[in-house]
Structure 1
Amino acid sequence: MMKKVLLQLWMMFAITQVTAQEILADTTFINDAAASARKVLIKSKSRQSHLFNGVAYIEPNTTSVNQFPQYQSNEWTSGWVHYDGERFEGVGVLYDIFTDDVVVEMPSTGASVKLIKEKVSAFHIYDITFKNLSAPAPTPGFYGLVYAGPTPVYVRFEKNKQEHIESGSLSIDYEIKTRYYLVKNGAFHIIKTKGDIFNVLSDKKADLKQFMRQEKLKFKKNKQLSIVKLATFYDTIQH
């Protein structure tokens, strides 16, 4: 009888030990998971604070829904920003052409933050990547890369602000200027006419003229398409 009681007590002790170990293991797992989650959250917040460390962006005054200083639209669009050596995806982005500034939206508050320009190496919106260029670019700032071949093509947007009184009220207009640059051997060449292209790529001038006729390119009607196609063709016949 005594042996039976001792056996039962031993079994109860063993079951208790196993249960305690399982609880301890579960608790350790939960604590580890929570710690990992906290690390991810802290890292995420750290990345966000790293990106959103510019200054507040004050929306410029406008007098018309069709007049604004930003590129394409004054509404947020999703894009990516390469900022201070790190790339941030799925960010709400605005590009203020008038001031040549990149603005991002804080997801937690919706506030607008103007990034430190020197820390923005590139950003991407509306299917175009803008790069922050200095010399030998004509003017330091953001240039859209529309062709990334050996003879790249960049576009530079600028908006001039004009204010005038109309019917006793202040009217604000933003006039956009678009300049295209063809880069050959590291030098930037502004392209205003098709003749500029032939002068820059003079070693293949006859081939380019023939290609332009075959493709029926209308330079004045679609300058960007014409420049990109000619630059692409030039690169393909270089070897």
Structure 2
Amino acid sequence: MKNNLIAALLLCCSLLCFKIGYAQTPGANSPDLAATTAIQKFNNTIGKQSWLYNGPVYDLGKRVIQGNPNFLDTALADKQGSVVYYGFLYKDVPLTYDIRNDMLVTTLYDDVSRYCLINGMVSEFTIFSHRFIRLNPDTTSNKVIKPGFYDEVYNGKLQVLVKPTKFIHVARGVMSPDDYYESKTYYYLKKNGIYHAIASEGDMLDILADHKKELKKYIRDNRIKFKEGPADVMFMLAAYYDKITN
């Protein structure tokens, strides 16, 4: 009986959810909303047999390190988010993004056991109002950006991506403090299909040289300081560039 129910629900989900539009908000009567509703009902019915519960155990080992490897220094799986996994949208999922290891972590149906979602099967996820997308660029021709999850700050004619990371600062000597996690953030701008690493306001203006004069005036008029918030500044400049190039 249970197998028949599972088969029926699988067929239903397959028919309704063959392809979900990730970047759009479904309307009240849209096919996407029907698909999402079907998936939620499927997960509620299947419980621990849900496709969501598929991934390796999350284990950081026994090494003592101050802090944690997580995005925004959050505790493990303390934030409900959404994730597109195996092509299906799952909502209200406890998520933590381990930015040192570039892994998305959640808990099993017992709310205790921790495991990682399979990176290649995660198309995107949202946590703390940040939308992360999975990029798999051709590493043979692209030397700027690596495969992984990126916070998509802006997406128009230009695309602004942020890569938050952490690394372990290793203590040296007996009197040194314990090892600890240290943060580092990288910024990227995509123009005409090409990714560029951005470390300063000048880097971005050089990439947008065709309207550099207008952008510099916009920066002066709005008293914009890149170092005070690189992601926000890149968003503003990208949006303004798109506006004046329409």
What is the TM-score of this pair, normalised by structure 1? 0.76
Matching residue's letter, 2:95: V
Residue from 97, 114, 117 that aligns with 2:99 = 97
Q: 2:58 touches 2:105 (CA, 8 Å); kept in 1?
A: yes
Alignment partners' CA distance in 2, 1:107 and 1:168: 44
Alignment partners' CA distance in 2, 1:165 and 1:198: 41
Helix, strand or coil: the match of 1:164? coil
Helix, strand or coil: the match of 1:55? coil
Helix, strand or coil: the match of 2:221? helix
**CA displacement at 1:162 relative to structure 2:** 2.2
Matching residue's letter, 2:87: G
**CA displacement at 1:164 relative to structure 2:** 1.6
1:78 has 2:80 as partner: yes
Alignment partners' CA distance in 1, 2:42 and 2:235: 44
Matching residue's letter, 1:198: L
Q: Which residue in the other structure is 1:134 paired with? A: 136
Q: 1:154 touches 1:181 (CA, 8 Å); kept in 2?
A: yes
Q: Which residue in the other structure is 1:176 paired with? A: 183
Q: Which residue in the other structure is 1:54 paired with? A: 55
C-alpha offsets along residues 207-234 of structure 1, whole Å, 9 cap, x if unaligned?
Answer: 0000001111011112111111011000
Alignment partners' CA distance in 2, 1:118 and 1:126: 22
Q: 2:43 touches 2:50 (CA, 8 Å); kept in 1?
A: no
Q: Which residue in the other structure is 1:159 paired with? A: 166
Alignment partners' CA distance in 2, 1:42 and 1:189: 40
Q: 2:47 touches 2:109 (CA, 8 Å); kept in 1?
A: no
Q: Structure 1 unaligned segments of length 5 or more: list them.
A: 1-34
Matching residue's letter, 1:204: H
1:124 has 2:126 as partner: yes
Helix, strand or coil: the match of 2:170? strand
C-alpha offsets along residues 173-197 of structure 1, whole Å, 9 cap, x if unaligned?
Answer: 1111101111101111111111111
1:68 has 2:75 as partner: no
Q: Structure 2 unaligned segments of length 5 or more: list them.
A: 10-40
The verdict on how the C-alpha distance between 1:236 and 1:57 changes in structure 2, with shifts beyond 3 A counting, is same
Q: Which residue in the other structure is 2:34 paired with? A: none
Q: 1:163 touches 1:170 (CA, 8 Å); kept in 2?
A: no
Matching residue's letter, 1:199: D
- Structure having the larger proportion of residues in strand: 1
1:234 has 2:215 as partner: no
For the aligned residue pairs, the C-alpha RMSD in angstroms reads: 2.5
**CA displacement at 1:46 relative to structure 2:** 6.1
C-alpha offsets along residues 95-122 of structure 1, whole Å, 9 cap, x if unaligned?
Answer: 1111101111223342111111111111
- Structure having the larger proportion of residues in helix: 1
Q: Which residue in the other structure is 2:46 paired with? A: 45
Alignment partners' CA distance in 2, 1:93 and 1:150: 31
Matching residue's letter, 2:58: Y
Helix, strand or coil: the match of 2:91? strand
Alignment partners' CA distance in 1, 2:244 and 2:92: 38
Helix, strand or coil: the match of 2:51? helix
Q: Which residue in the other structure is 1:222 paired with? A: 229
Matching residue's letter, 1:90: D
What count of residue pairs does the alignment treat as equivalent?
A: 202
Identity of aligned residues (%): 32
Matching residue's letter, 2:178: S
Per mean C-alpha deviation after superposition, the further-off stretch among 155-164 and 96-105 is 155-164
Per mean C-alpha deviation after superposition, the further-off stretch among 173-182 and 157-166 is 157-166
Q: 1:62 touches 1:68 (CA, 8 Å); kept in 2?
A: no
Helix, strand or coil: the match of 1:210? helix
Q: 2:154 touches 2:160 (CA, 8 Å); kept in 1?
A: yes
